[in-house]
Amino acid sequence: MSDNQIIMLGTGHATVTRCYNTCFVLKSGNDMLLADAGGGNGILSQLKKAHIDLADIHDMFITHAHTDHILGAVWIVRMVIQRMKNNTYDGCFSVYGHDKSLNVLDSICRSTLHVSYQAYLGKRVFFHEVKDADIFNVGDMEIQCFDIKSAKEKQFGFRAILPDGQKLVCLGDEPYNEANRLYAENADWLMCEAFCLYADREIFKPYEKQHSTALEAGIIADKLNAGNLLLYHTEDKNLPARKSKYTAEASQNFKGNIYVPDDLDVIDIA
């Protein structure tokens, strides 16, 4: 088992019902970064199934303020504070995101959490606004945020430099923009959305939703000289065949390793 892992908590797009929305934990030793939290309370059962204790998570990154990424974060904040109140959570909890994401999260938390919970905001639960190119650290992992230049909704991806020097890039849930080549090229691990198969584009209509397919993900990974490609944020109509079909399509253009994880898959970053 590697010291570094990706623990996929969810792999689906916004309206899936057969799996959870895309979110994951990036783990290095005992340090964990939760990247997004899906669309609701389901994040709690995903963490439980993954045997992750909330008390071990002290950092969360929010890519953008769409429902399928940020509403689960409200539950994370609520449960972290509950643990703090019960003295079963040591230290502080930090949330990183751009101004829009944090404003939305703060606003929902203040509108929905009990006043005794709100007292923890800014005391032991901190919202850290990050700007394009800002760097923060989670243990020995260095995380650099970048604006993915979405035409739809302000969204940040990130590049993580792991303690062993490996580079992992999360492109968020929209197609790669050439403006981010500096961050994304030569990644050892490239995490890229694939809304559906190119073969199924007429069924799922990815392009009109500002999404792309496994075929384009393979083209991008090849162009960016990635080592490993991980596909996520997919449709969920045929999950048993997803791994083989998406891999086959992406491999037409990308010759490195391709991962199409199911929810709760753990991937060694080795």
Residues at the contact surface with Zn ion, assessed by CB under 5 A: 14, 68, 173
Nearer to Zn ion among residue 33 and residue 62 (C-beta)? 62
Looking at the chain, which runs of residues are DSSP E strands?
Answer: 4-10, 23-28, 31-35, 59-61, 93-97, 125-129, 135-138, 141-147, 156-161, 167-170, 189-193, 228-232, 257-259, 266-268
Do residues 160 and 167 touch, judged by C-beta distance below 8 A?
A: yes
Three-state secondary structure call for residue 217: helix
Q: Pick between residue 89 and residue 246 the one whose CB is nearest to Zn ion.
A: 246
The smaller minimum CB distance to Zn ion, of residues 205 and 255, is found at 205
- Quote the CA–CA distance of 86 and 53 in Å, as a whole number: 15
Please state the closest distance from residue 233 (CB atom) to Zn ion, in A: 6
Smallest distance, Zn ion to C-beta of residue 56, A: 25
Nearer to Zn ion, 235 or 249 (CB): 235
CB atoms within 10 A of CB 110: 12
Smallest gap from residue 175 Cβ to Zn ion (A)? 13
Residue placing its CB nearer to Zn ion in the complex, 173 or 188: 173
- Cβ 20 to Zn ion shortest distance, Å: 12
Question: What residue number has its CB nearest to Zn ion?
Answer: 173
Distances (CA, A) of 18 to 7, 11, 14, 49: 18, 10, 12, 16
* Short-list 72, 16, 7, CA closest to 233: 16
Of the two residues 68 and 200, which places its CB atom closer to Zn ion in the complex?
Answer: 68
* Shortest Cβ 34–Zn ion spacing (Å): 16
**Which residue's entry shows tokens 């199911």?**
262
Q: What is the DSSP letter of 21?
A: B
The distance of closest approach from Cβ of residue 234 to Zn ion in the complex, given in angstroms and rounded to an integer, is: 11
